[in-house]
Amino acid sequence: ASRAESDSIQAQRRFSGRVLVVEDNIVNRKVARATLKGFGLEVLEAENGSLALDLLAREPVDLVFMDMHMPVMDGIEATWRIRVAESEGELPGRRPIVAMTANVLKEAVETCLEAGMDGFLPKPFARRQMIEVLARWLGDAGSRGAASRSESLATAQPGSAAPESTS
């Protein structure tokens, strides 16, 4: 397929699910929201990790995009608390959490994965990168829902969106 055909196919991608964007910067939240809604997703938002934890206690989501650096509670602490709550049964199932940050250094990626995140999306992100993350965790529209994915996520490996580790 030509580059134009490939771009056209990518532009038509649709996904199904509820996505939580945890980001303190309103412009970054708006960009993420518009991009995700353009793919057919329902988007929930939280300005920091503490609000994200409160929201997750009330609302089921299929995927979380988590900024690393936020006031009140950063993404690393929030992810760690989410994973503890999941393991203790306070939050049902296990949802994928993808770091969304401008810090693309190897150490930052490793910190995200060690905290329990499943992947990494650099900011600013390209549409193609977002599609790759969504396809990995949500599949195409209607193919999988949160309930059918909960078992497979328990054995999922860190996301392919993260740069290759040389260690």
Per-residue DSSP letters for 91-132? S-S---EEEEES---HHHHHHHHHHT--EEEESSPPHHHHHH
Q: H-helix or E-strand containing 42?
A: strand 42-46
pTM: 0.77
How far the first Cα of the chain sits from its last, in Å, is 36
Bridge partners of 22?
A: 46, 66
Taking residues 80-104, report their average pLDDT: 89
Bridge partners of 98?
A: 65, 119
Report pLDDT digits (tens) over 106-160.
787 788 888 889 988 888 888 888 899 999 999 865 444 443 333 333 323 333 3
State the CB neighbour count (10 A cutoff) for residue 66.
27
